[in-house]
């Protein structure tokens, strides 16, 4: 931020125009035909002009320093920085949304389309009205973060759902039942233990699939909750009804969605192999 503050102070319109105006004024006066070759108090006009340029440079430096320590200028820069960050988050939402569509089902695409419409309404609410609202800006930023978490969660949810749907539990159950019947006729202890181990591993796979499907149901419910939350907050934001409670709820929702997404990513890294 300090680097950006210095850069902004150096190229601040007020500071630059003051320097240009001063230099132009000194140039016009020193270049006047009537003053060429004249001395003022025994000092050559060109020497005076050089001193005036130096004074202008010192004035410019003083303005830059004043800008860097000005609370109003700092607040202005912070607003611009926040605006850039919100625009970046908005672009990230669009990028992730396009990526999610490649994995989502038709119903999920409809939900995603609705989420993006709500996101656009929330984002555009900042452009309405002349009064600056720190609280509204904060809520819009948190809402965009939530949309990003939503799209990432939906992407991993869609991928993992497809992976689990390809695991045929019925075939595993038939395999387990067949192996259990084999145990009744086995006399070799080593073979008996091997088959029993196979049955236990297959049962572990079935239990894990069931656990993951239950987990996916909870994630599906969380996605629905986020959709409802954003829709409700959209109407409040558009109507300029903001509160600190909204910020807290959005932060909680983002953290919960991120945690669920991390779990899904871990599941995918350690996915069940058949």
How sure is the predictor about 114, in pLDDT bands with cuts at 50, 70 and 90?
very high
pLDDT at residue 99 in the model:
92
For 149, half-sphere exposure in the C-beta direction (CA atoms, 13 angstrom radius) is 26
**Of 39-43, 132-136, 160-164, 224-228, which range is least confident?**
39-43
Please tell me the pTM assigned to this model.
Answer: 0.75
Q: Is 229 within 8 Å of 249 (Cβ atoms)? A: yes
Q: Is 167 within 8 Å of 134 (Cβ atoms)? A: no
**Other C-beta atoms lying within 10 Å of the C-beta of residue 272:** 15
Residue 172 pLDDT > 80: yes
Q: Give the torsion through C-alpha atoms of 176, 178, 184, 189, to 10 deg.
A: -60
Q: Render pLDDT for 180-222 as a digit per residue (tens, 0 to 9).
A: 888 888 877 788 888 888 888 888 888 888 888 898 999 999 9
Residue 44's φ and ψ, nearest 5 degrees, are -65, 145
Residue 30 pLDDT > 70: no
Question: 217, 227, 205, 106: which is closest to 161 by C-alpha?
Answer: 217
pLDDT at residue 1 in the model:
52
How sure is the predictor about 110, in pLDDT bands with cuts at 50, 70 and 90?
very high
Stronger pLDDT, 167 or 40, i.e. the higher one: 167
How sure is the predictor about 274, in pLDDT bands with cuts at 50, 70 and 90?
very low
Stronger pLDDT, 3 or 220, i.e. the higher one: 220
Residue 46 pLDDT > 80: no
Q: At what angle do helices 2-10 and 71-101 cross, to 10 degrees?
A: 110
Q: Render pLDDT for 253-268 as a digit per residue (tens, 0 to 9).
A: 999 998 888 888 887 7
How sure is the predictor about 173, in pLDDT bands with cuts at 50, 70 and 90?
confident
Q: Is 153 within 8 Å of 260 (Cβ atoms)? A: yes
Q: Where are the alpha helices (DSSP H) in 69-105?
A: 71-101
The CA distance from 154 to 101, in Å, is 10
- Could you tell me the residue ranges of all domains in the chain? 1-69, 127-269
Residue 133's φ and ψ, nearest 5 degrees, are -130, 110
- Mean pLDDT along residues 172-184: 85
Strand partners, 43: 40
DSSP 39: E
Average pLDDT, the chain: 84
Q: Render pLDDT for 68-102 as a digit per residue (tens, 0 to 9).
A: 887 887 788 888 888 899 999 999 999 999 999 99
């Amino acid at each position: 931020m300090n680097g950006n503050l210095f850069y902004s102070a150096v190229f601040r319109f007020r500071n630059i125009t003051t320097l240009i105006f001063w230099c132009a004024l000194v140039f016009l006066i020193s270049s006047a035909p009537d003053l060429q070759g004249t001395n003022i108090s025994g000092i050559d006009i060109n020497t005076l002009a050089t001193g005036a340029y130096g004074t202008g440079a010192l004035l410019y430096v003083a303005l830059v320093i004043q800008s860097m320590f000005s609370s109003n200028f700092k607040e202005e820069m912070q607003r611009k920085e926040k605006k850039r960050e919100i625009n970046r988050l908005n672009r990230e939402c669009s990028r992730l949304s396009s990526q999610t569509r490649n994995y989502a089902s038709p119903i999920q695409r409809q939900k995603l389309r609705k989420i993006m419409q709500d996101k656009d309404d929330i984002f555009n609410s900042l452009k309405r009205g002349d009064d600056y609202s720190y609280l509204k800006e904060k809520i819009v930023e948190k809402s965009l973060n939530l949309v990003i978490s939503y799209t990432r969660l939906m992407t991993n949810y869609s991928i993992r759902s497809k992976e689990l749907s390809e695991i045929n539990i019925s075939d595993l159950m038939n395999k387990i039942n067949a192996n259990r019947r084999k145990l009744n006729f086995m006399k070799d202890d080593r073979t008996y233990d091997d088959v029993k181990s196979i049955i236990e591993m297959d049962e572990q796979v079935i239990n894990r699939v069931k656990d993951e499907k239950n987990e996916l149901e909870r994630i599906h419910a969380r996605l629905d909750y986020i959709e409802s939350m954003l829709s409700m907050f959209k109407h409040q934001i558009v109507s300029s009804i903001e509160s600190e409670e909204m910020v807290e709820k959005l932060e909680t929702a983002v953290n919960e969605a991120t945690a669920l997404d991390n779990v899904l990513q871990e599941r995918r890294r350690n996915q069940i192999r058949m």
